[in-house]
Amino acid sequence: MSDIRVTLPDGKQLKASVGSTVMDVVKQIGPGLARAALAAKIDGQQVDLAHSLDKDAALEVLTFNNPEGREVYWHSTTHLMAQAIKDLFPETQLTIGPPINEGFYYDFDKPDPFTAEDMERIEARMTELARADLPISRREIHREEARNLFTEVGEKYKVEMIDDLGPDETISIYEQGDFVDLCRGPHLPSTGKIKAFKLLNIAGAYWRGDEKNQMLQRIYGVSYPQKKEIEAFLERRAEAERRDHRKLGQQLGLFMFHPFAPASPFFFPKGARLYNTLIDYVRGLYKEYGYEEVITPLIYEAGLWKISGHYDHFWDEMFHIDADDREYAPKAMNCPSHCLMYAANHHSYRDLPVRYADFARLHRHERSGVTAGLTRVRSFSQDDAHIFCRPDQIQDEIQNFMKMLKDTYTMLGFDDIDILLSTRPDHRAGTDEIWDRAEETLTNVLHELEIEYTVVPGEGAFYGPKVDYIVNDALKRPWQLGTCQLDFNMPEQFKLEYITESGKPARPAMIHRAMLGSLERFLGVYIEHCAGAFPTWLAPVQVIVIGISEHQTDYVNQIAEQLSQAGYRVETDVRNEKVGYKIREAETMKIPFMAVVGAREMESGGVSVRRHGQGDLGSMTVNEFIQSIEADVKQGMSTN
């Protein structure tokens, strides 16, 4: 039997016999890695540890320390849960069960709702199946055999998925004990690898996310190799619930939702102050970086969306209006309207770059099953801008945007950022030549700027490659906020031109960019990041002046007026309540500063100052208090 060579990530090579499994090779590396191994990648493709090797290959072992390894672990736990449910509730129909950011879910079609008692029984059965250490094996079968197999056991959703697969796609099933599921894999070698798990909650979900389809029951869960990791996860989850922006939004009086406008937030006065303060901050940056703000219509005839490509690539995600026997849509993005504005004027090479910024309200037809508080809404505004520039200006424009973004994220306390470069998707506008040019240009810019990034194949916008900024919040959860997209397609579609130095027409490049992204989504993320305790510069109420008794009402109003004249957002509390109650309520509302005044403060002409989360700062004159607030605002807006 001839030998093959297996190359490890560090370049080291091992010999193995043809027909050896991946696990045989892993055991050569060491017993510790063999115990930790969950699956592997052979020449970049994920495989089971039982996968046979028949030629030279590059090997990467996946453990729980690796993101892809964790996905395999969580995906295998969905099969364990599905097996337990089929054992306990045989009438249940299986659909899909993917891993998610931290944990997993599986969607089930069961006649009756799962109860809390059912969840306990399912966990108990999962424990039994894990302890049984059932081998998990992969089998590839023909389409008809797969269809007959799942038809015989009454799994109609699996049959539907098989019918949707292409004729050349490999159909694989995974078996553990008497349980079988349709799955691409890979999976753990046995159920015994799953050591600790917890089922978390049940939610409704439509089959394939379409409200016209059957409503399913989605069970969420998480699993880890050690029980202490589950406990740590549950602590993080409890903290996330305390920070939930939907609860804090209600508690702080920021926003609400109503069934008459699904997934479209209403901002109360305090929320509007927060929203507009963010916009004012961005407008200040626009002045510094040379952007010009424009105002554009909300509704457009379908012809615009056909030119831009959105009709072919995005129409299903837009709302539609029929009027005057014509087809219209409220805009879901600003870029086509900015192209119309650019095209309305003649441009010389000296005029570029042209930077249009737009805070227009946008609307997208997000399905009801995926909307979530402020982080996934149907009505929103972006700190959106489009830059039309010469090819030789692209690097400087992207560099300036990245500086603006980095300074802002640093100020906001987002210091853990990942950068992704997303390349051409399968369904896209434009020629391969245009895409080659755009991807090469954007890649070269990132290299010139020495930006570290990860390539995400196939996730670009339909019109061009993009750089996405993933911020990790205070709980280390990743959120995509900012984006920078390089587009050579839309200028081509709209026939945009500028006159070069030699007097000939040329196409400008178009850069789509947003720093915060959707302001609604940003606020949802940021509320949870800072647990609703906004920095003083951003807080909707920066100071509350509290009177100890009604005798200080006039003095309270006098202090409030001085603070307001100094430019701060102020409230007063002169209710007939105990001062301790008022202070506790101000703490609950997370107001940065409290100025408490009683007879002594009236006599001295000062205030007793408290800072949210820090307590008593002592007595100050009003001018000293104003200087203290000013210093806090400056510190909060510092990017150092």
- By annotation, the residues acting in catalysis are 335, 364, 382, 384, 386, 466, 512
DSSP type of residue 549: S
Identify residue 426 by its one-letter amino acid code: D
- With beta carbons less than 8 A apart as the criterion, state whether 168 and 200 touch: no
14 by Cβ neighbours in 10 Å (0-12 / 13-18 / 19+) ranks as middle
Return the DSSP state at 73.
H
Strands of the 606-611 sheet, one edge to the other: 570-573, 543-547, 593-597, 606-611, 615-621
CB atoms within 10 A of CB 126: 24
Q: How far is CA 281 from the centre of its chain?
A: 23
Do residues 488 and 510 touch, judged by C-beta distance below 8 A? yes
What are φ and ψ of residue 534, in 5° steps? -70, 150
Coil/strand/helix, residue 151: helix
Ordered DSSP codes for 213-231: S-EEEEEEEEEESSHHHHH
**Please, what sign has the CA dihedral across residues 127, 180, 213, 428?**
positive
End-to-end CA, the chain: 64
* Residue 173 neighbours by CB under 8 Å, 6+ apart: 138, 139, 141, 146, 149, 180, 181, 182, 183
Read off the DSSP letter of residue 51.
P
Element (H, E) at 400: helix 394-411
Q: What is the 3-state secondary structure (H, E, C) of 92-150?
A: CEECCCCEECCEEEEEEECCCCCCHHHHHHHHHHHHHHHHCCCEEEEEEECHHHHHHHH
Q: Are 123 and 197 in contact (CB under 8 A)?
A: yes
Residue 531 DSSP one-character state: T
User: What interhelical angle do 553-565 and 622-636 show, nearest 10?
Assistant: 40
Q: What is d(CA 577, CA 426) in angstroms, rounded to the nearest whole number?
A: 64
> CA-CA distance, 75 to 278, in Å (whole number)?
40
